[in-house]
Structures are given as structure tokens and as C-alpha cells.
Amino acid sequence: MKNFFFSLVAIALSSSFFVPHVLAKKLSPEQISSYLKIDPVYYKEGSFQGRAIDQSLKRPVRLISELEKEESYFVSHFYNQGQFWVAEIPKQGVKKVIAQLALFKGPLGMTLTHLQYRFLMDVPVGLYRSKGGVLKKTRTNDLIFTVQAALPKGEDYDALEAMKGTYKMTSRLSNTFDRVIYEEVAAGDIVTQYELSNISQEQRDALLFNSVNFSNQNLYEKDYKVATENCISVSFDILDQSLALNRERVVLTLKNMFLNGQSPNEKMILEELRARNLIHNKSRIENYKK
């Protein structure tokens, strides 16, 4: 019995036993709702000048500094189950980082690749929202950070506009299932996965926080540019920052966009991950699918 008691104490004190939602007891549903309010954002120039950015699905997360605790930080506009939530993210809790490569059809029938990071958590992310004046709570251990073009309301993605740098950029945190199944797999994308190795606990947690911080600092201010400011370039910027690597910036060139095989930027991404000693011949895991 004595040993059993001490075992329970040890479990309770371990970081993996950290349970979110404690702070939420001090917040009213109205306070939670206030963090999820948005104002219209308009294009100030270019082809879409004066038009509002569509925020119904893609919203950057924002740090809520006044809620930060010793063991966790909070962000608004985490996307989960078709809704936006306030998320409580543990400062130490990322178990694995997986590079997801979503292969999709681009211009002229080319296969292009979208890069995003999947985080599997030892410690769950707490989620809060208000519905009908009642506080709703849930949690997730599986989330995605992704960088995308922010489109005007009523517009579909146009590769030519992206090449011109017309779009604004947005970066998001989402539940992995919602993002991958409902947005990518449903559109016919093939989502391959590579588990990153040789990355410490501190670096994994830093990658998640730096991803959040990028979103918080840039919001809709940055232009999305196919060659230099895109999901691949920005994702490697954040990765190199988190690993304290001084490497040449990853950008898309004529060669790796058009002259390097059937899926050129997929090959480039994998070469860059190998050059950082983050993947090897056994890093690929099963595709993400239903």
C-alpha cells in the first residue's frame, strides 16, 4: 500500500500528468468569447484592394499574454471541430514533430507540395469556447501548424495571383484531423509524413512556440509570395530558428519548381531535412488518411 501511494504521488508530480482547464475556472464564458472576436481585415492594395480577407476558416493565432502561466501559454483562434477556440498550450509537452508534405495538383498539371508541422503532445492542449453563455472545454494531443495564402471572400486560390504576390499570408494552428482530412484529403491531396529525429525536447517545444509567435507577430501583414514567402520557406525559417542553425534560406527556384522531376519541391524539402540530419531512410511513416 505504501509503495502504491508513492507511485500515485510520482505520477501526479510528473509533467505528463499536467491537466489544463484549471485557469478556465477563473474565466467567464464572456471573457473567453472576447478573445475570439475578430474585426474585418481588408486588402490595402493590389488586385483585391478594398476587399475583406475571408476569416471564416483561416485565422492566425494570437498570444494572450495576460493569461500566461508558469507551465503554459494561451492563444486565441485555434481551429477545432469547425469552431475557433482559446487554446492552453503546455510549455513542455511536445512528444514528436512530424513533417507533413501534402501533394496537390498545381498549374499545368504539376504535382506541388505543401509543408506543415504536426505536433504530437505528451501533455494535452486545453481548448475553451463559449456556446450560449456556457463554457465548453475539450483537449487535443494532435495539432498542425500551417502557413497559407489568405484569400479574399468569394475567391478561389489562383496560382498567377500567388506568383504576383497579391495574397496576404496567414499561419494557423488546427486540430490535425480537421485540417488534414476535411481540407486536404477531401480535396484529393496525398499527405505523406516524416518523423523528425535528432531534435531535443527543448527544440521540439521551441518549434511549437516559435510557430505560434510567428503567427502572432505577422497576423495578415506579410505578403504571400510563391518564391520566397511561402509554406516551405517560412516553415524552414522557423525550424532553423528553433534549432539555432545558421543555414542558407530555403527558397523556390526555377529548378526546384519546374525542372526537378514530377514533384520538384517535395524533393527539395526532403533534401533540406536530410541536410539538417532530421530524417533518414526510416523516417517516413504511414500517410495521413481516413
Could you read off the pLDDT of 30-75 as tens digits, one per residue? 999 999 999 999 999 988 999 999 999 999 999 999 999 999 999 9
**Other residues' Cβ atoms within 10 Å of the Cβ of residue 20:** 23
179 lies in some domain: yes
12 lies in some domain: no
9 lies in some domain: no
Q: How far apart are CA 127 and CA 172, in angstroms?
A: 15
Q: DSSP letter at 237?
A: H
User: What average pLDDT score do residues 261-271 get?
Assistant: 80
Give 150's contacts (C-beta < 8 A, 6+ positions apart): 53, 54, 58, 167, 168, 169, 170, 220, 224
Range of the domain at 63: 18-285
For helices 201-218 and 231-242, the axis angle rounded to 10 degrees is: 130
What's the sign of the alpha-carbon dihedral 128, 26, 124, 209? positive
Give 110's contacts (C-beta < 8 A, 6+ positions apart): 258, 262, 264
5 lies in some domain: no
Is it the case that residue 9 has pLDDT exceeding 70? no
- Which set of grid coordinates corresponds to residue 90? 503546455
Nearest to 143 by CA among 200, 201, 186, 207: 207
Report the run of H or E that residue 162 belongs to, with start and end. Answer: helix 159-164
Q: Please indicate whether residue 27 or residue 13 has the higher confidence score (pLDDT).
A: 27
Pair 268, 235: CB distance under 8 Å? no
56 lies in some domain: yes
CA 219, chain centre distance (Å): 13
Look at the pTM and tell me if it is higher than 0.95. no
Instruction: State what percent of residues in the chain have pLDDT above 70.
Output: 87
Q: Where does the pLDDT of residue 262 fall: very low under 50, low under 70, confident under 90, or very high at 90 and above?
A: low
Looking at residue 249, its pLDDT comes to 96
- Which residues share a beta bridge with 142? 120
Looking at residue 7, its pLDDT comes to 41
Nearest 5 degrees, angle CA 110-CA 113-CA 116?
A: 165
71 lies in some domain: yes
63 lies in some domain: yes
For helices 231-242 and 264-275, the axis angle rounded to 10 degrees is: 10
Pair 113, 157: CB distance under 8 Å? no
- Which residues share a beta bridge with 115? 101
User: What average pLDDT score do residues 145-151 get?
Assistant: 96
Q: DSSP letter at 225?
A: B
Total domain count, the chain: 1
Pair 251, 284: CB distance under 8 Å? no
163 lies in some domain: yes
